[in-house]
Amino acid sequence: MRLKHIKNADEIILLSPYLISNPTDYKGKWNTLFNNNNPIEIEIGTGKGKFIISKAINNPNINYIGIEKYSTPLVGATKKLESIKIDNLKLICFDAFNINDVFDKEISKIYLNFSDPWPKKRHAKRRLTSPSFLNKYDLLFKNDKIIELKTDNKDLFEYSCVTFEEYGYNITKIDTSYLDEYTTEYEDKFISNGVNINFVHVEKK
């Protein structure tokens, strides 16, 4: 699905109190920004924010950070939040390739929802479940390493399950017709069109 460019998107999202414009300043100390020591969960590729906003509203004792590379979809997220006050949610516009510049041993769970499948073999390293990214994630977790993946792409799903296991993760739940309480905008569209959602939950000590 192609993103429609929004003029002045960078300026628009900067006006939101949820947008953290200097995320690298909080590396290793995000708990001070939330002003508590609750678990921190992140979504990489948060898009327009439906999933993570719902998570934050319904789980006030968990802190959430939505990470999105592009400012255009974050405009949608900030608009959703204009009339809502949520103390346990932050958004950052940042490329996950450099995620180790932002977090250090402070994350409890990572959500990967409908990530770009990068189908060509020569682009495999760009997949968010490639060994290069799993190596980056290792440095983010506070204790046990927990990742949840949802995708409509069968090839990405199969690739990810293999790389998780090869990297030492245990698959504790897997479902190829998954219905989630918390959905993304993409997910709603896929489900309405009869597309199956693939889900896997993995953990590593």
132: left (phi over 0), alpha (psi -120 to 50) or beta: alpha
Confidence of residue 4 (pLDDT cuts 50, 70, 90): low
Nearest of 86, 40, 91 to residue 68 by alpha carbon: 91
Provide the annotated active-site residues.
116
Q: Rounded to two decimals, what is the model's pTM?
A: 0.95
Helix (H) or strand (E) holding 175: strand 170-175
- What the chain holds in terms of domains, given with CATH numbers, is 9-204 (3.40.50.150)
| DSSP string across 143-163 | SSEEEEEEES-HHHHHHHHHH
The model's confidence at residue 1, banded by pLDDT at 50, 70 and 90, is very low
- For tokens 């516009």, name the residue: 93
Mean of pLDDT over the chain: 96
Residue keyed to tokens 């219905």: 179
Q: What tens digit of pLDDT does each residue of 109-136 get?
A: 999 999 999 999 999 999 999 999 999 9
**pLDDT value for 7:** 78
Contacts from 179-183 at CB under 8 Å and sequence distance 24+? 180/150, 182/51, 182/54, 182/55, 182/58, 183/50, 183/51, 183/54
pLDDT (tens digit per residue) in 43-94 = 999 999 999 999 999 999 999 999 999 999 999 999 999 989 999 999 999 9
Structure tokens at 10: 């960078």
